[in-house]
C-alpha cells in the first residue's frame, strides 16, 4: 500500500515551503478557501512511495506547459508561481522553454523552492546528443540544473529526423549518459515518460544501471485510467506523473456523473478530475494559461472523494487517449498507429534526406536546415 501526505502554503506568499513524506495512496492536507471559488492554498511537495529508488521530492500539483501558445507561457508560469505553485513541467519539444526560463528568472522564488522538469526529445539518444540537449535546455530555462529530466518517449530516432530509427543508439546507452549528467550536477533526478511495464522493467532490472528511474510520466485520467501501468509503476517504487490529467476537458466536464460529484463537493468538474488522480498517489500537471483556472487547479486539498465517488467515476473510463503521437504503442491508439507509424516513416524518409530538424529550436532560427543528401 502507498500513501501521500502533503502540506499547503497560502497563495501569494513569497516563500513556498517544501516538505516530504514517504509514500502515496491516500492524500491528506490542510486547506482554506477564499470567498471566491478559487484556491487559496496549494500542495507544496510529496515523496511518492516508501520504496522509491531515489530521494526525489516532487510537488503533487504542477503547471503543465504542453500546447501553451507562444507569448502565453511566460504569463502562465508567472501567475502559477505567484499563487503558490512550485512545480513547472517543461520539454524541449514544447517549443517554449525559453519563455519558461524568462518567467523563472523574473520570479522571486529561490531556486531550491522550485521543482522544474524537462524532457529529452526522441532524436537525442547518443551520449553527445544527450548532454548537448540538456545543456541547451538549461540555457533556455536559465538554470544551472533541472530537478527532473525524462526520456520523453521510448524510441531512438536519427538526429534531426522524425520516425527514422537510429540503429546505433539505445535507451540503455542514453540512460548511462543521463547518469553521468546527474553526477556532473546538471540534473538532480532522471526518469522516463510513456514507458510501458516491459520498457520500465528493462531499466529497473538492469544491474549495470546505478540510478533507477525516479518517475514515469504517462497519460492517465478518468477517460483512460491506465490503471495497470499506474499500479505497476508505483509497485516498483517509481513516481507516476499524469500528463493531460484533465483529458483536455470538453465533453468530460459535461458528463452527468462528474457534474453531480462536483456539485456534491461544491467544486468544479476539473477539480474532481484532478483530485481523482491525486488520491491515487499520482502527480498532476494540468495546463492552463488562465490565472483563475491555474489557481483553481491547485485547490485540491480541501475536499476528498468518497469510495462511492471513485466507484461511480469508473463509468467514465472508456479507454480514450488524448495523445496523437503516431509512435505511441499504448492500447487506445495501438491499432491506428500500426499503419500510421510505418506510413509516416516512409513518407518522411525522403524529406529527411535533405532537411534536418532541431526540435530545440522550434519556432526560432535554425529549426530547419538543409543538408547534403549523400551524408
Q: Strands 87-89, 115-120: parallel, antiparallel or unpaired by DSSP?
A: parallel
Cα 6 to Cα 302: distance, rounded to the nearest angstrom: 12
Cα 348 to Cα 220: distance, rounded to the nearest angstrom: 30
Please pick, among 85, 94, 149, 243, the residue that the annotation labels catalytic.
94
3-state secondary structure the chain: CCCEECCEEECCCCCCCCCCCCCCCCEECCCCECCCCCECEEECCECCCCCCCCCCCECCECEECCCCCCCCHHHHHHHHHHCCCCEEECCHHHCCHHHHHHHHHHCCCCHHHCEEEEEECCCCCCHHHHHHHHHHHHHHHCCCCEEEEEECCCCCECCCCCCCECCCCCHHHHHHHHHHHHHCCCEEEEEEECCCHHHHHHHHCCCCCCCCCCEEEEECECCECCHHHHHHHHHCCCEEEEECCCCCCHHHHHCHHHHHHHHHHCCCHHHHHHHHHHCCCCEECCECCCHHHHHHHHCCCCCCCCHHHHHHHHHHCCCCCCCCCCCCCCHHHHHHHHHHHHHHHHHHCCHHHHEEECHHHCCCCCCEEECCCCC
Instruction: Answer yes or no: 94 catalytic.
Output: yes
Question: Are the CB atoms for 310 and 258 separated by under 8 Å?
Answer: no
Cα 367 to Cα 157: distance, rounded to the nearest angstrom: 17
Q: Which residues are the active-site residues? A: 94
Amino acid at each position: 500500500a502507498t500513501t501521500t501526505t502533503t502540506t499547503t502554503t497560502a497563495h501569494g506568499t513569497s516563500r513556498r515551503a517544501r516538505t516530504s513524506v514517504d509514500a502515496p495512496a491516500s492524500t491528506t492536507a490542510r486547506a482554506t478557501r477564499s470567498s471566491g471559488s478559487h484556491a487559496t492554498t496549494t500542495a507544496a511537495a510529496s515523496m511518492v512511495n516508501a520504496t522509491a529508488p531515489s530521494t526525489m521530492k516532487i510537488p503533487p500539483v504542477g503547471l503543465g506547459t504542453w500546447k501553451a501558445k507562444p507569448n502565453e507561457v511566460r504569463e502562465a508560469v508567472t501567475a502559477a508561481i505567484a499563487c503558490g505553485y512550485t512545480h513547472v513541467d517543461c520539454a524541449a519539444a514544447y517549443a517554449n522553454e525559453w519563455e519558461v526560463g524568462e518567467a523563472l528568472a523574473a520570479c522571486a522564488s529561490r531556486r531550491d523552492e522550485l521543482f522544474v522538469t524537462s524532457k529529452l526529445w526522441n532524436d537525442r539518444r547518443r551520449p553527445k546528443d544527450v548532454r548537448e540537449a540538456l545543456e541547451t535546455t538549461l540555457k533556455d530555462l536559465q538554470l544551472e540544473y533541472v530537478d527532473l529530466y525524462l526520456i520523453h518517449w521510448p524510441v531512438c530516432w536519427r538526429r534531426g529526423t522524425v520516425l527514422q530509427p537510429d540503429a546505433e543508439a539505445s535507451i540503455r546507452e542514453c540512460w548511462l549518459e543521463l547518469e553521468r549528467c546527474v553526477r556532473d550536477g546538471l540534473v538532480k533526478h532522471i526518469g522516463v515518460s510513456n514507458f510501458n511495464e516491459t520498457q520500465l522493467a528493462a531499466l529497473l532490472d538492469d544491474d549495470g544501471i546505478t540510478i533507477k528511474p525516479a518517475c514515469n510520466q504517462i497519460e492517465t485520467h478518468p477517460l483512460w485510467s491506465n490503471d495497470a501501468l499506474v499500479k505497476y509503476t508505483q509497485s516498483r517504487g517509481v513516481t507516476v506523473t499524469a500528463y493531460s490529467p484533465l483529458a483536455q476537458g470538453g465533453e468530460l466536464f459535461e458528463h452527468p456523473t462528474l457534474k453531480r460529484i462536483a456539485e456534491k463537493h461544491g467544486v468544479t468538474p476539473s477539480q474532481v478530475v484532478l483530485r481523482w488522480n491525486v488520491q491515487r498517489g499520482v502527480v498532476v500537471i494540468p495546463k492552463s494559461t488562465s490565472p483563475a483556472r491555474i489557481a483553481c487547479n491547485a485547490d485540491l486539498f480541501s475536499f476528498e472523494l468518497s469510495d462511492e465517488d471513485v466507484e461511480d467515476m469508473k463509468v467514465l473510463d472508456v479507454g480514450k487517449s488524448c495523445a496523437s503521437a503516431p509512435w505511441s504503442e499504448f492500447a487506445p491508439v495501438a491499432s491506428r498507429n500500426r499503419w500510421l507509424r510505418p506510413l509516416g516513416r516512409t513518407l518522411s524518409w525522403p524529406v529527411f534526406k535533405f532537411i534536418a530538424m532541431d526540435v530545440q529550436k522550434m519556432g526560432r532560427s535554425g529549426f530547419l536546415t538543409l543538408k547534403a543528401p549523400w551524408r
